[in-house]
Amino acid sequence: MNLLDFVASFPDEESCKQKFKEYRETVGVICSKCKHTEHYWKADKEQYECKNCSFRTTLKSGTVMHKSKLPYRYWFIAMHLLTSTKKSFSAKEIQRQIGHNRYQPIWHMVHKLRVVMGKRDGEYILAGQIELDDGFFSTVKPEESKDKKLKRGRGSQKRTKVLVMAESHKVVSVKKGQKPRRVGYLKMQIIEDLKKETINQIVKDLVSEKSSLDTDGSTSYVELSDYVNEHHSEVISKEKVCEILPWVHMTISNAKRQLLNTFHSVKPEFLQSYLDEFCYKFNRRYFGEAIFNRLLVAAVSYKNEFRYV
Ligand SMILES: [Zn+2]
């Protein structure tokens, strides 16, 4: 959706609220008290009333806007900005675009949207042929643990480990300029360490047991064949990486570049949510304008659980 279409579709608070309500009802309102799914709409109070137990649910409760005081239109603008470009927007930039005087509520809003992106993708289990590798992302050390010896300026840097998995099918006859593998769904998950138990658990949780994994020869991966149908591991030279694990490496470097360009420095506790946004958009790269509506579905489907003071 381009900017003109967005403004025409959502010219005011009411139009955003109506769209939000429409999507909420399509997904379905569930009574948090008795789990009943049929409700009356009380227009004067802007609440749903359960047909079974009369419990009232506000339009925002149980969604990404749970307890939010910000106007619907702010949320819609943020969703539009986040989905209208391949790149990302910082909360600071979204605050400027909206023209709100306080930064904190906008920052919270944007993070909440990233959390629902992560939740939506969290429901997907990777399958088929999969590339798997780990990468390091530069994050900023918290103030108190900064080592004085580390470089000043951009803040002391720490390396946060991330496990990256991409569905990636080998192309049978590769044409000129074409990649040797075609990519499907992508996942990036922060990991505490590279112990094999840690990696095993993630593969168990996020990858179908029928799939086939390709990795390098790292000792972190030695037990993966217990969790999937096939595991090919080999020592990969630098020159061969782009051939054997092309998509994990390309997405790691694209994500790093995007984080650096948009946020300059990232705290380790927020890296997952930036990666979730990156993967969410990568996984919907062919959706075109529909990605805004998809994010709206996620926004009405998941209750905000982002807490940070
Ligand atoms: Zn009820």
DSSP string, the chain: --HHHHHHH--SHHHHHHHHHHHHHHH----TTT----EEEETTTTEEEETTT--EEESSTTSTTTT--S-HHHHHHHHHHHHHSSS---HHHHHHHHT-S-HHHHHHHHHHHHHHHHHHHHTPPB-SEEEEEEEEEEEEPPGGG--TTS--SS--EEEEEEEEEEEEEEPSSPPTT--SEEEEEEEEEEES---HHHHHHHHHHHB-TT-EEEEES-GGGTTGGGTSSEEEEE---GGGHHHHSHHHHHHHHHHHHHHHHHHSS--HHHHHHHHHHHHHHHHTTT-TTHHHHHHHHHHHHS-------
Mean pLDDT, rounded, for 107-125: 95
What is the 241 CA–ligand 1 centroid distance (Å)?
Answer: 55
What is the 29 CA–ligand 1 centroid distance (Å)?
Answer: 10
The answer to whether the pTM exceeds 0.85 is yes
pLDDT bucket at 299, cuts 50 / 70 / 90: very high
What is the 46 CA–ligand 1 centroid distance (Å)?
Answer: 17
What is the 35 CA–ligand 1 centroid distance (Å)?
Answer: 6
pLDDT at 156 over 80: no
What is the 33 CA–ligand 1 centroid distance (Å)?
Answer: 5
Could you report the per-residue pLDDT of 199-216, keeping only the tens digit for each?
999 999 999 999 999 999
pLDDT in the model for residue 66: 93
Output the average pLDDT for the chain. Answer: 91
What is the 27 CA–ligand 1 centroid distance (Å)?
Answer: 17
What is the 37 CA–ligand 1 centroid distance (Å)?
Answer: 8
- Comparing 180 with 39, the larger pLDDT belongs to 39
pLDDT in the model for residue 148: 53
pLDDT in the model for residue 305: 77
What is the 50 CA–ligand 1 centroid distance (Å)?
Answer: 5
What is the 26 CA–ligand 1 centroid distance (Å)?
Answer: 18
List CB-based neighbours of ion ligand 1 within 5 Å. 31, 33-34, 36, 50, 52-53, 55
What is the 40 CA–ligand 1 centroid distance (Å)?
Answer: 11
pLDDT in the model for residue 141: 79
Mean pLDDT, rounded, for 86-108: 93
pLDDT in the model for residue 308: 67
pLDDT at 152 over 70: no
- Comparing 73 with 238, the larger pLDDT belongs to 73
pLDDT in the model for residue 151: 52
What is the 49 CA–ligand 1 centroid distance (Å)?
Answer: 8
Give me the percent of the chain exceeding a pLDDT of 90: 78
pLDDT at 153 over 70: no
Could you report the per-residue pLDDT of 48-71, keeping only the tens digit for each?
999 999 999 999 999 999 999 999
Lowest mean pLDDT, pick from 27-36, 95-104, 143-152, 235-244: 143-152
What is the 58 CA–ligand 1 centroid distance (Å)?
Answer: 13
pLDDT at 142 over 70: no
Could you report the per-residue pLDDT of 242-294, keeping only the tens digit for each?
888 999 999 999 999 999 889 878 999 999 999 999 999 999 999 988 999 99
Could you report the per-residue pLDDT of 213-237, keeping only the tens digit for each?
999 999 999 999 999 999 999 998 8
Lowest mean pLDDT, pick from 12-16, 47-51, 82-86, 278-282: 82-86
pLDDT in the model for residue 284: 95
pLDDT in the model for residue 170: 85
pLDDT bucket at 139, cuts 50 / 70 / 90: very high
pLDDT in the model for residue 150: 53
What is the 38 CA–ligand 1 centroid distance (Å)?
Answer: 8
What is the 53 CA–ligand 1 centroid distance (Å)?
Answer: 4
What is the 60 CA–ligand 1 centroid distance (Å)?
Answer: 17
